[in-house]
Amino acid sequence: MIRIIAVGKLKEKALSMLVEEYTKRLRPFTKLEIVEVADESAPMSNSDASNAMVKEKEGERILAKIKDNEYVILLDLWGEMMSSEAFAKKLEQLQTYSTSNLTFVIAGSLGPGENVYRRCNARLKLSEMTFTHQMTRVILLEQVYRAYMIRNHNPYHK
């Protein structure tokens, strides 16, 4: 099972349609669940302390959705980058030898709180570029789908 826990709702129809498309494509390969948690309004002061408070509150909402037996991969600007092939191999290894319950976390616009960092088992960086957390959801779904295509020797990857 693949779960994605994301802060905030998808607001753009085009992105929602892409999420639906990749959700449909993944059905034959894995159970997929997307969980949205509310984002916290950032105070106008935008100080380090207020940002930390926002990240901590969003983190509490994320952590409330994670079960003990889940392997948690945080999408993080300072995470490990890997090729699509390496990502496919990593998912296969985790689902074969560790756990079938993989949870990806997409934090809010300010990033994850320390509480989320402490809970994650791995950190993944999708790119050197920065994407909105809403676009990140689509990019992650496409890469998960691509990983299953690679594992099944499907020409989609080429």
Annotated binding-site residue numbers: 75, 107, 126-131
CA 118-122-123 angle, to 5 degrees, is: 95
Q: Write out the DSSP string of 67-132.
A: -TT-EEEEEEEEEE---HHHHHHHHHHIIIII-S-EEEEE--TT---HHHHHH-SEEE---SS---
Phi, psi of 149 (to 5 degrees): -65, -40
Binding region for S-adenosyl-L-methionine: 75, 107, 126-131
- Helix, strand, or coil here: 152? coil
